[in-house]
Structure 1
Amino acid sequence: MKEPLWTRDFIIVFIFNFFIMLAMFLLMVTISGYAIDEFGISTSNAGLAAGIFIVGSLIGRILTGHQLALMGARKIMYIGTIMFIITYGLYFFAGNFWMLLIVRFLNGFANGVATTAVGTIAALALPHARRGEGIGYFSLSFVMATAIGPYLAFTLLDYVDYQMLFLIVFIVVLVASVFTIYIKTDNETIDLTREPKPRFQFLDKEALPVATTILIICLAHSTIFSFIALFAEERGLGAAASYFFLINAVMMLLTRPFTGRLMDLKGANIIVYPALVVYFFAYLVLGNATTGWMLLLAGALIGLGYGNFQSIIQALCIKLAERKNVGLATSTFFICLDFGLGIGSYIFGQLVPFIGYGGLYNSMTLIVLAGAVMYFMVYGRKEKYLTI
């Protein structure tokens, strides 16, 4: 008889993660416009208001991974949740652009702390034999927030001002925080009365080789978030672009639970290699898109390819780690993911003046190939000899 996935703690962290991700996206897509309207800054500086959140999140993850083994994931989650509530409240008091940047950084830091702890608890609440399937389901909380958050944010701004949007986000976070009181799952912690305090670690050595593959793939994926709207506008595909991320999310929602279960039964390779092939062709379609249906097809292929690759690599990092290091492995995965997303668009954005957006997306096929080679070297060629 199968051990259940949807336990009380798993359901709670699923709901909580959805709401904190929803809050993040409600502001991620609107904060640049707010900064321009409120403080009269340039577009490039407004982009900094959005991007510095990722920097804060990355630092939060780096510091959290080590502390999970010392304090426990549940305690870290409570700390991160309190920080979330405080930092979302600080948006009301950011009276100038520099204060806004500080608030965004602290808000991102809180996000890194809370989501790393919540991801750890979600993994520990799952039966080991079904973690691939369970992580696939858990990651849907993020996918749903990705699909709903941007649409809801722009819809709300048709009826309310930014201050009211901040209030709505604050209430969402406050309500979601109530759920955490009922979580019981926690990770193993080190007994400092019996063992020496371990040296500081922010990366898990077992998970890191596999996590580097998500870093490489996210270098490419960052160009989707940063340039897809500009690319669509350049090619006169603005109407179709409004549905791009919706189609992307639907493909993830439809396939992730099944691919996670298949990983548990047959291993990661059976999903990863096809996903990377699909992702490779997604960039070819996108780079050469001249019609709305081609743009939406690319969105569907990206959801099918990147969406399943990302969740399988997350599950694999957790499965490869020792149980006591599940939190550190979760942190390692997200550090690599955030780092790739954070620097990719800056690096590859330098190519746009020379090869254009279409050329940029076509060139991302080379990055996908590099990610496939890395995966083969660090894990794929050895999978049949490993027991996970």
Structure 2
Amino acid sequence: MTKTSYWSRNFILILIGNALLFMVYNMQVPVLPLFGKQLGLSPAQIGVFVGAIMFAALVTRLFVPWFSGKFSKKVLLVGGILGYLLASIGYPLLGSFGLLVLLRLFNGLGHGITTTYFATSAADELPVNKIGEGMGYFGIGTMVTASLAPLLALAIVQQFSFTAFFMTCIGILFLALLTILGTTKSTAPDAAAKPTNRAPVFDRQFIPQCSLVFILGVLMSGVMTFTPIYAQAQHLTAISWFFFVAAIAGVVIRPIVGRSFDQRGPRLVLLISTVLLTVGMVMIALISSNWLLVVAGVFYGVADGAIYPTLQAWVFKVTTLENRDTATGMFLNSYDLGMGLGAVILGWLVEGLQYQGMFFVLALVGLVYIGLALRLSKRVSL
């Protein structure tokens, strides 16, 4: 039976659950570097601490074919959220660098599972001709909560404590768990029901999308990990507004991007958004006032809100239903590898070039990114 609408009970609950999970993730983005700094960690150590989640998520997704053959998506999502929850409980209880990294790796197990199966569960509810638009709206749920996350997170830390912050994260994760428990069995064919003939963990047809999302991950890791500390060093107070306007810009752009993708493919979206991303990196490097920081957030938010869902929809469009879990795992692994390596390498760069120099390096990477995006999307036929 052909679906005519994707606004089903399952799709809405999955959207909400994913949004709540990513609210916690985006609350931790500006706070964990400050948490690490308070504990006395160096910039390089902060990079390892923050980036460790991505390496664990990457390794976890290598087992996606096995997971999909053994468990339903609902069971996997519940397990992943519980992993996230237990890690969040442990953060305020551990103070040494080594233990924090181990805990962050454990957090990455839950992150790897949830990000894979939230996306594929949502895609299972979408008609093929609405993949771009549907995933755009799916992403809006993430962006809406992400817009509130920095404001809420930094306010809690400033007015109360880091412990209160982590308690808030725990409460939100409980709500995410309840939404998934409320879903029913999907009417779409479940790839997990076909444990044989699984697709390989690596598939060459996804190299263009994975290459682009890897570089995006490197760029995003620099912004999310080091902008809060850089702004603090510049005596700026609008870092929460930077993330807020970035998220709002991402919310506004996603439906437009989704429709453009469904009608024209990824090329035009990638051209415009990679240019905006590069401009945003230059602006962050040059920040000298709160208003400039906020404007940079708009450029960053539009680019992030356009590039990631476009590449994700591109993957879903060219893969088969049976291989969707594996394709998603490869795509997300590429992003998280970029995020993880980016946080570590850029942490080292900060120690040699300072924060401004590191952001100028990211701007140069952005220039290369424009050309690569145009080249890889040159002959796309959807």
TM exceeding 0.5: yes
SS in 1 for 2:192: coil
**Aligned AA for 2:310?**
I
SS in 2 for 1:239: coil
The 5 A counterparts of 1:152-191 are 152-181=152-181, 182-185=183-186, 187-189=190-192, 191=194
SS in 2 for 1:243: helix
Alpha-carbon displacement from aligned partner over 1:289-342 (angstroms, at most 9, x marks no partner) = 444433322221121223201110111111111111111111111111111111
**Aligned AA for 1:189?**
A
| Aligned equivalent of 1:361 | 359
The 5 A counterparts of 1:1-388 are 3-31=4-32, 34=35, 41-44=40-43, 45=45, 48-64=48-64, 66-68=66-68, 71-91=71-91, 94=94, 98-181=98-181, 182-185=183-186, 187-189=190-192, 191=194, 195=196, 198=198, 201-236=200-235, 238-352=236-350, 356-378=354-376, 380-383=377-380, 386=381, 388=382
**Aligned AA for 1:381?**
K
- Aligned 8 A contact 1:216 1:371 in 2: yes
SS in 2 for 1:206: helix
Which residues of structure 1 form unaligned runs of 5+?
none
- TM-score, structure 2 length as denominator? 0.86
- Aligned 8 A contact 1:12 1:183 in 2: no
- TM-score, structure 1 length as denominator? 0.85
Q: CA RMSD in A?
A: 3.0
- Aligned 8 A contact 1:132 1:315 in 2: yes
Could you tell which deviates more after superposition, 254-263 or 302-311?
302-311
SS in 2 for 1:324: coil
Q: How many residue pairs get matched?
A: 377
Identity across the alignment (%) = 22
- Aligned 8 A contact 1:216 1:370 in 2: no
In the superposition, relative to structure 1, how do residues 70 and 370 fare at CA in structure 2: closer, same or farther (>3 Å)? farther
SS in 1 for 2:11: helix
2:281 and 2:29 mapped to 1: Cα distance?
25
**Greater relative contact order (CA < 8 Å, ≥ 6 in sequence):** 2
Q: In the TM superposition, what is the alpha-carbon distance from 1:18 to its structure 2 partner?
A: 1.3
1:92 and 1:240 mapped to 2: Cα distance?
26
Could you tell which deviates more after superposition, 140-149 or 212-221?
140-149
In the superposition, relative to structure 1, how do residues 69 and 130 fare at CA in structure 2: closer, same or farther (>3 Å)? farther
**Aligned AA for 2:373?**
Y
Which residues of structure 2 form unaligned runs of 5+?
none
Q: In the TM superposition, what is the alpha-carbon distance from 1:233 to its structure 2 partner?
A: 4.2
- Aligned 8 A contact 1:57 1:110 in 2: yes
| The structure with more radius of gyration | 1
**Aligned AA for 2:242?**
F
In the superposition, relative to structure 1, how do residues 229 and 171 fare at CA in structure 2: closer, same or farther (>3 Å)? closer
In the superposition, relative to structure 1, how do residues 125 and 227 fare at CA in structure 2: closer, same or farther (>3 Å)? same
In the superposition, relative to structure 1, how do residues 235 and 162 fare at CA in structure 2: closer, same or farther (>3 Å)? closer
2:237 and 2:33 mapped to 1: Cα distance?
22
